[in-house]
Chains A and B, each alone.
Chain A
Amino acid sequence: MGVTPKLGNLGVVTSTLEEAINWARTGATWPLLFGLACCAIEYMSTQASNYDLSRFGMELNRASPRQADLMIVAGRVTRKMAPVVRQLYDQMSDPKWVISMGDCASCGGVYNNYAVVQGVDEIIPVDVYVAGCPPRPEQLMHGILTLHEKIRGERIADWAS
């Protein structure tokens, strides 16, 4: 008997290291448990039973930024909150990605005034913008899938240098 039956009939798959890493990263992008305003409620809906974000390997929300890979900025970022958001981003370990969810996070939305940062990209670099006020869960999922595509295209040479 030995070990042979356990191996099954898989054969051998060859791939590049780059592809293997990117595949692993897309499959388990843990988001930071972080919500700001209205969009956070839609984000919760996306997590909950009807939309079930776990299908994309994201069922685990980490409350600590050090264990998270993806920051979903869900909601308006105010001038008082901006330093906190930046600090959270700085605390996340590489590789890290940011989705700016909703109009307020992307460009200030309807709040073109003294209190709101006009787009979270003024304080942290953003990978994917999701439009909508608030975006439907499907839109957020589309944003996440777009991010997956981006991750799949990443090259070791770019981030290892």
Chain B
Amino acid sequence: MQKALVPEDAVRAAFPDKVQAVKHFRDETTIIVAPEDVPTVLKYLRDTPGLLYNYLSDISAVDYYPENTRPGRFGVSYHIYSMLYNRRLRVKAFVDEDEPVIPSVVTIWPAANWLEREIMDMMGIDFDGNPDKRRLLMPQDWDGHPHRRDYPLGYETIQFSFNVEEILQHKPFAKE
């Protein structure tokens, strides 16, 4: 078994201009790359001896609205895991609001398909190259992307004894 490499150093050595930043927080390493470099870097991390991050755990997206302190409005994190070396790594890309597109990694891990579709549905980030771009969780005719921070939660007035009359008047009760 080849000795384990330090992931951020290995990626830096292989692609000197592609690593934007490296962050450590509570034993977790985050490598920040540009959106268009995501497939290249992930493929390298999967296939290089000494790294072999062969399992895609999760892809999650976060919306930084309304703050403007980060390079883009959305952050997309790929959580990958190496069975052999038993460690995790996060590869993160910031995506801009005006052009929320990331190349898809379906060809690297087929499991990414639905994870990407979920983000397309919920966050409105487009994954270029995903074979199936229908909505995944919401109905096909749904408007908007519910997990964006500027999408309302859809709060309905809670029924208490003081307002029950008023609510029951407006509630759309079903007919036979």
Q: Do chains A and B touch in the complex (CB under 8 A)?
A: yes
What is A's interface to B at a CB cutoff of 8 Å?
79-80, 86, 107-108, 112-115, 118-119, 121-125
B158 touches A112 (CB 8 A): yes
B155 touches A112 (CB 8 A): yes
How many inter-chain contacts with C-beta < 8 Å in the A-B complex? 39
B156 touches A112 (CB 8 A): yes
In angstroms, Cα B175 to Cα A122, docked, is 9
Q: Determine the chain A residues whose CB is within 8 A of the CB of B174 once the complex forms.
A: 86, 121-125
A122 touches B155 (CB 8 A): no
Residue of A nearest to B158 (CB): A112
B151 touches A114 (CB 8 A): yes
Number of chain B interface residues as a range:
10 to 19
Residue of B nearest to A79 (CB): B139
Listed A/B pairs (13) with beta-carbon separation below 8 Å: A79-B138, A79-B139, A80-B138, A80-B139, A107-B159, A112-B153, A119-B171, A121-B171, A121-B174, A122-B173, A122-B174, A124-B174, A125-B176
Select which of B138, B154, B173 is within 8 A of A113 by beta carbon.
B154
Q: Determine the chain B residues whose CB is within 8 A of the CB of A107 once the complex forms.
A: 159
Most buried by B among A80, A108, A114: A114
Q: Does B152 lie at the interface of the complex (its beta carbon under 8 Å from any beta carbon of A)?
A: yes
B171 touches A114 (CB 8 A): no
A113 touches B172 (CB 8 A): no
A118 touches B156 (CB 8 A): yes
State the main secondary structure of chain A at its contact with B.
Answer: loop
Q: Determine the chain B residues whose CB is within 8 A of the CB of A113 once the complex forms.
A: 153-155
Residue of B nearest to A125 (CB): B174
Q: Determine the chain A residues whose CB is within 8 A of the CB of B137 once the complex forms.
A: 80
Please provide the 8 A-B residue pairs with the shortest distance between their CB atoms, ordered closest to farther.
A114-B154, A80-B139, A118-B156, A124-B174, A123-B174, A113-B153, A113-B154, A122-B172
Bitwise, B112-154 to A at CB < 8 A (1) or not (0) is: 0000000000000000000000000111000000100001111
In angstroms, Cα B175 to Cα A114, docked, is 23
In angstroms, Cα B176 to Cα A125, docked, is 6
Select which of B155, B159, B172, B175 is within 8 A of A125 by beta carbon.
B175
Q: Determine the chain A residues whose CB is within 8 A of the CB of B176 once the complex forms.
A: 125
B171 touches A122 (CB 8 A): yes
**Within the complex, what minimum Cβ distance (angstroms) separates B56 from chain A?**
26
Q: Determine the chain A residues whose CB is within 8 A of the CB of B171 once the complex forms.
A: 119, 121-122
Q: Determine the chain A residues whose CB is within 8 A of the CB of B159 once the complex forms.
A: 107
Q: Determine the chain A residues whose CB is within 8 A of the CB of B138 once the complex forms.
A: 79-80, 115
Known interface pairs A121-B171, A122-B172, A122-B174; 18 further A-B residue pairs with C-beta atoms within 8 A, sorted by A's residue number = A79-B138, A79-B139, A108-B156, A112-B153, A112-B154, A112-B156, A113-B153, A113-B154, A114-B146, A114-B151, A114-B152, A115-B154, A118-B156, A119-B171, A121-B173, A121-B174, A122-B173, A125-B175
